[in-house]
Amino acid sequence: MSTRSVVRHETWTLEPDREPDAEPTTYSMQCAVCEESSAASADIGGPQSWVLAHCGRNPSHHTFREIITRPWRTWRHS
């Protein structure tokens, strides 16, 4: 008995998931000095407020990273 391989090339598309049931895009901020992070939120306002409070408590911490988690989906062309 021999083994047979079948290779089929298909075209796939990758795009942000904007379906009604998609996970929300979330934002958080991370201090680049101590790596402490804000909570993730669907609204950027909360993480930005966290940055201002964090640098108020830590005057030498003034470099931050924005972390965006965006859902993506793939689909195969028929």
The pTM of the full predicted model, rounded to 2 decimals, is 0.77
- Read off the amino acid at residue 51: V
pLDDT at 24: 97
Q: What is the pLDDT along the chain (78 residues), one digit of tens a residue?
A: 778 887 788 899 999 999 999 999 999 999 999 999 999 999 999 999 999 999 999 999 999 999 999 999 998 987
3-state secondary structure of 51: helix
Distance CA 8, CA 73 (A): 21
Tokens 């090339």 belong to: 9
Q: Are 29 and 37 in contact (CB under 8 A)?
A: yes
pLDDT at 72: 97
pLDDT at 4: 83
Distance CA 24, CA 46 (A): 15
